């Protein structure tokens, strides 16, 4: 069984991103998953699409949260069965 993949979209200097990443890391300490961090400044289209929404967190490719990450909701999403 493979680990779920959590993709974290953010950018350097974003205080909301820093706070959300702390939540993601706390969850990761409780439930194992692969974490992929994406700097939206690395892609112009991504930057335009997500600048007003970051941080954005996706679980296995499905957007789970934006602007704020709820620790319990993320735990719940990671605890559900994965394909």
Q: How far is CA 1 from the centre of its chain?
A: 21
| Strand locations in the chain (E) | 5-10, 34-39, 56-59, 62-66
pTM flag (> 0.75): yes
71 phi and psi angles, rounded to 5 deg: -60, -45
pLDDT single digits (tens) 7-20: 999 999 999 999 99
pLDDT at residue 83 greater than cutoff 70? no
pLDDT at residue 80 greater than cutoff 80? no
CA–CA distance, 69 with 57 (Å, rounded to integer): 8
Q: What is the dihedral of CA 21, 26, 69, 33, to 10 degrees?
A: 80
């Amino acid at each position: 069984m493979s680990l779920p993949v959590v993709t974290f979209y953010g950018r350097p200097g974003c205080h909301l991103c820093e706070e959300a990443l702390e939540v993601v890391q706390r969850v990761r300490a409780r439930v194992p998953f692969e974490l992929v961090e994406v700097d939206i400044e690395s892609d112009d289209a991504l930057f335009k699409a997500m600048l007003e929404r970051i941080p954005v967190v996706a679980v296995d490719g499905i957007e789970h949260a934006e602007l704020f990450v709820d620790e319990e909701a993320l735990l719940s999403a990671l605890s559900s069965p994965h394909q």
